[in-house]
């Protein structure tokens, strides 16, 4: 049991119906993600990256195949059971942050904890810790709409981590950010990964993907490449590749 992967898929297939015409988005993916690993899923637009991650998060039902989480089969769960699973085990970060505009930053981060049954005090303490970690302690009472993109994404990350998920799914977390905010967010992702967090991140940016220790490349809904990223050589400063190698 302790050796079970955090998430494992068996011949996972997703076919959308578009006006009666079946459009396969994911075509038989077998993927196994070990605890503590940082997997980047990359590929061109329409290759099924997001669909795959949505299925792993239970946001989108699979057409066929199996999904196993920590040794339990979950693809057969009901919508409500998936909701409970997400609440407990899965943190989600989206490209467009998806913070709730009516609620303050603090409320956004506390919401998942409250949802999971934490007392308001527990939720507040957890939120204070997370926002402190992410350098947003002084923005707790602000509306998310008053935050910059990078800050919003950091709040979204705090929210995803609020319930100490065993799996963090990030769908293009930097897709809507400038390079400086991208760097901030990636640094945080790297940090939580270092703290033992299992992460699956979808990105189409090769440089962002290189942060991961495993790179899965999709094309037309199938895995065309899967391998661990070798330790990159250190390049001289001043190259394009150093954009995100800044000291934070």
Partner 1 sequence: MHTPPKNNPKDPTTPPSPTPDQSAQEGASETPGHELNQSAQEGASETPGHELNPGAREGAGPWTDERRERSDRSEEGRDRVKSPLAAARSAAIKNSPLAAARSAAMGRAAISRWVVRDLKARRWEALLVVILVAGVVTALMAAVTLLEDRTNPWRGLFDESNGAHVWIHTNDDPDVEALARLKDVAAVAGPYRAAPASLMQQGRRVPVALRAVPVALPAVARPLVREGRWLDISAVDGVVVERSFARAMGLRPGSPMTVTALNGARHPLVVVGVAGSSDQGFYPEWPGLVWVLPETLNGIEPERGRSESVVGLRMETTDADATRLVAQQVATVLKNQVKRVSTWQEIRASMELDNRLLGTLLGFFGVVGLVAAALAIANAAGGRVLSQLRDLATLKSLGFTRGQIVGTLVVQHGGIGLSGVVLGWLCGHVLTTVVFERTPVPMQSLGVLVGATLVVLVVVGVPAWRGGRTAPIPAAPAAPLRGRLSRPARLALLVRLPPALVLGVRDAVTRPAHAALTALGLAVPMMLIVVGLGSWASLDAFLEDPRRVGQAGALHVRQGALPSADTVRLAMADPRVTSVFPGTEVEALVPGQARTVLARALGTSAQPYPFSVVEGRMFAERGEAVAGQGLFDLLGAKIGDRVRLTVGGTPLIVRFVGRVIEPERDGEVLSLGLDSLAVKDAVPAGFYSLVLRDGADPAVVRAALLAGSNGVLEVRHVVNPAERLAVIRLVVIALIAVLALVGLANLLTVNALGLRDHAADLVVLKAMGLTPRQVMATMVTGTGLMVVVGVLAGTLAGASAAAWLIDLQGHTSGVGAGIGRTPTPLVLAAAVLLAVGAALLVALLPARKAARARLPVTAR
- Chain positions 24 to 83 lying near partner 1, rule: CB under 8 A, are 34-36, 50, 54, 57-60, 70-72, 77-81, 83
Pick the piece of the chain touching partner 1 (CB under 8 A) from 10-18, 22-30, 115-123, 216-224: 115-123
Q: By CB under 8 A, tell whether 10 contacts partner 1.
A: no
70 by Cβ neighbours in 10 Å (0-12 / 13-18 / 19+) ranks as middle
Q: How far is the CB of 27 from partner 1 (least distance, A)?
A: 20
User: CA nearest 109: which of 170, 161, 148?
Assistant: 161
Pick the piece of the chain touching partner 1 (CB under 8 A) from 13-21, 23-31, 102-110, 218-226: 102-110
Residues 39, 42, 95, 181: which binds partner 1 (CB under 8 A)?
95
Q: How far is CA 34 from CA 6, 37, 47, 200, 206, in A?
A: 6, 6, 23, 10, 22
Q: How far is the CB of 175 from partner 1 (least distance, A)?
A: 10
Helix axes 179-194, 149-161, angle to 10 degrees: 20
C-beta closer to partner 1: residue 77 or 224: 77
Q: How far is the CB of 219 from partner 1 (least distance, A)?
A: 21
Residue 27 in contact with residue 53, Cβ under 8 Å? no
Residues 206, 219, 224, 246: which binds partner 1 (CB under 8 A)?
246
Q: How far is the CB of 206 from partner 1 (least distance, A)?
A: 12
C-alpha–C-alpha distance, residues 37 and 197, integer Å: 7
User: CA nearest 217: which of 40, 67, 52?
Assistant: 40
Q: By CB under 8 A, tell whether 122 contacts partner 1.
A: yes
C-beta closer to partner 1: residue 100 or 219: 100
C-alpha–C-alpha distance, residues 191 and 133, integer Å: 10
C-alpha–C-alpha distance, residues 44 and 148, integer Å: 28
Q: Which of residues 168-197 bind partner 1 (CB under 8 A)?
A: 168, 171, 176, 183, 186-197
Residue 24 in contact with residue 52, Cβ under 8 Å? no
Q: How far is the CB of 62 from partner 1 (least distance, A)?
A: 14
Q: By CB under 8 A, tell whether 248 contacts partner 1.
A: yes
């Amino acid at each position: 049991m302790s050796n079970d992967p955090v998430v494992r898929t068996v011949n996972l297939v997703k076919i959308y119906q578009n006006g009666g015409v079946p459009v396969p988005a994911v075509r038989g993916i077998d993927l196994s993600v070990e605890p503590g690993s940082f997997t980047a899923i990359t590929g061109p637009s329409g290759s099924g990256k997001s669909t795959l991650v949505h299925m792993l998060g239970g946001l989108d039902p699979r057409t066929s195949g199996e999904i196993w989480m920590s040794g339990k089969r979950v693809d057969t769960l009901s919508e409500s059971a998936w909701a409970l699973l997400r609440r407990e085990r899965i943190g989600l970060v989206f490209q467009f942050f998806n913070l709730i505009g009516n609620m303050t930053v603090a409320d956004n981060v506390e919401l998942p904890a409250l949802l999971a049954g934490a007392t308001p005090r527990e939720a507040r303490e957890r939120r204070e810790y997370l926002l402190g970690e992410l350098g947003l302690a002084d923005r707790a009472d602000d509306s998310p709409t008053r935050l910059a993109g990078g800050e919003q994404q950091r709040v979204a990350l705090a929210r995803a981590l609020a319930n100490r998920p065993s799996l963090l799914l990030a769908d293009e977390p930097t897709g809507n950010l400038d390079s400086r905010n991208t760097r901030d967010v990636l640094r945080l992702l790297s940090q939580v990964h270092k703290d033992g967090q299992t992460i699956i991140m979808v990105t189409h940016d090769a440089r962002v993907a290189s942060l991961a220790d495993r790179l899965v490349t999709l094309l037309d809904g199938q895995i065309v490449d899967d391998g661990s990223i070798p330790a990159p050589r250190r390049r001289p400063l001043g190259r394009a590749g150093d954009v995100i190698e800044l000291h934070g």
